[in-house]
């Protein structure tokens, strides 16, 4: 177990991506096998902050933003929209726009 953790740390692979909104983010792409494809896709997308701003506007009325376990989201709120980039691998939670 200890070894695995060490390996994933050693392999962590951050790249700087400039998004179409002009913002730059350091993205860890060590866990994907489709690196060039993923990078190209991201460059034609908004950064996390801009995505969140757009989505917060879209879901501003009639929704509550709630942080919950990913498992609960899948089970109880499968039709709700998960906030872009909100997955936290440490406690396995996501932010979900839940209709009021």
In the complex with Zn ion, the residue whose CB is nearer, 50 or 80, is 50
Contact 12, 28 (CB under 8 A): yes
Count residues near Zn ion (CB under 5 A). 4
| 67 Cβ neighbours under 8 A, 6+ residues apart | 86, 93, 94, 95, 96
Token pair of 16 as six digits: 């700087």
Stretch that binds Zn ion, among 2-10, 22-30, 58-66, 71-79 (CB under 5 A): 22-30
Asked if 20 touches Zn ion (CB under 5 A), the answer is no
In whole angstroms, give the CA distance from residue 77 to residue 98. Answer: 8
Any bridge partners for residue 17, and if so which?
A: 25
**Which residue from 7, 18, 20, 23 is in contact with Zn ion, where contact means CB under 5 A?**
23
| Helix (H) / strand (E) containing 51 | helix 48-58
Minimum CB–partner distance for residue 64 and Zn ion (Å): 25
Q: Is 50 in the site for Zn ion (CB under 5 A)?
A: yes
Query: Which stretch, 1-9, 32-40, 46-54, 80-88, contacts Zn ion (CB under 5 A)?
Result: 46-54
> Does the protein bind Zn ion through residue 47 (CB under 5 A)?
yes
Q: Which residues lie near Zn ion (CB under 5 A)?
A: 21, 23, 47, 50
């Amino acid at each position: 177990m200890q070894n695995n953790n060490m390996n994933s740390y050693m392999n962590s692979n951050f790249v700087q991506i400039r998004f179409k909104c002009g913002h730059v983010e350091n993205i860890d792409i060590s866990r994907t096998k489709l690196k060039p494809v993923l990078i190209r896709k991201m460059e034609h997308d908004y950064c996390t902050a801009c995505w969140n701003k757009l989505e917060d506007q879209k879901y501003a009325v009639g929704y509550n933003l709630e942080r919950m376990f990913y498992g609960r989201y899948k089970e109880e709120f499968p039709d709700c929209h998960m906030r872009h980039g909100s997955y936290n691998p440490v406690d396995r939670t996501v932010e979900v726009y839940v209709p009021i």
